[in-house]
């Protein structure tokens, strides 16, 4: 929310906002043309690099978008937007295995979710071949955002096309977001609070 507010401010006349971060989830919210990669040359002198494919790749590697553990065993990866998506996929896999709906969980077959930030960053993972560089099979899993901002829904459609044109699989939720899959009755039983939300409303605000 803070980053969106800063971006909104930066679009006003006579305004310039400078943000520095080492967090990939924040960096990917910044329009590519607004990124500046600050580093040092071989002599230790500061260098400000303007965005292009090589610079974006260098910045991505510097930020360290890969998880600290698990990659050494990975046989496949799933690119996801946020931390809640990682938690959801891992937990859902375990529950579905326990119920007998699927034979194995993600951990059983060493499939590792990788948090890459917002929907827009998927484009760079595809066009810069960063996922391919890992040398592992990969796919994409995103919120559909159905019922939300039409521009965002259109953007997800574009990402789907890019991923499938790259010969990879693209998955999106049938409901708006991961939070729309939460069970209101379970929330009531655990917290005593009755919440009401639909498949396409903003469940996080309910």
Q: Residue ranges of the domains in the chain? A: 2-63, 76-174
Is the pLDDT reported for residue 67 higher than 60?
Answer: no
Give the Cα separation of 144 and 200 in Å (integer).
Answer: 10
Write the class of the CATH domain 76-174. Answer: alpha beta
Beta bridge partners of 78: 113, 139
Confidence band, pLDDT 50/70/90 cuts, at residue 68: very low
Give the pLDDT confidence score for residue 71 in this predicted structure: 66
Mean pLDDT of 127-135: 77
Confidence band, pLDDT 50/70/90 cuts, at residue 30: confident
Is the pLDDT reported for residue 99 higher than 70?
Answer: yes
Average pLDDT across the chain, whole number: 85
51: left (phi over 0), alpha (psi -120 to 50) or beta: beta
Are 180 and 197 contacting, i.e. CB atoms less than 8 angstroms apart?
yes
Give the pLDDT confidence score for residue 31 in this predicted structure: 76
pTM to 2 decimals? 0.67
């Amino acid at each position: 929310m803070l980053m969106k507010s800063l971006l909104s401010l930066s679009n006003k006349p006579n305004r310039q906002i400078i943000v520095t971060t080492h967090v990939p989830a924040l960096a990917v919210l910044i329009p590519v043309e607004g990124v500046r990669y600050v580093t040092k040359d071989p002599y230790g002198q500061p260098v400000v690099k303007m965005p292009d494919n090589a610079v974006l790749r260098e910045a991505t590697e510097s930020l360290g978008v890969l998880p600290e553990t698990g990659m050494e065993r990975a046989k496949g990866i799933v690119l996801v937007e946020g931390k809640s998506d990682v938690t959801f996929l891992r937990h859902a896999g375990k529950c579905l295995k326990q119920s007998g709906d699927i034979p194995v969980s993600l951990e059983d077959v060493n499939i590792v979710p990788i948090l890459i930030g917002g929907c827009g960053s998927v484009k760079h993972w595809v066009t810069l071949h960063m996922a391919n560089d890992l040398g592992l099979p990969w796919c994409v899993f995103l919120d559909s955002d159905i019922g939300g901002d039409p521009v965002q829904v259109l953007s997800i459609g574009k990402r789907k096309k890019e991923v499938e044109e790259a010969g990879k699989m693209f998955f999106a939720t049938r409901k708006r977001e991961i939070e729309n899959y939460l069970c209101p009755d379970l929330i009531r039983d655990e917290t005593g609070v009755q919440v009401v939300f639909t498949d396409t409303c903003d469940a996080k605000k309910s």
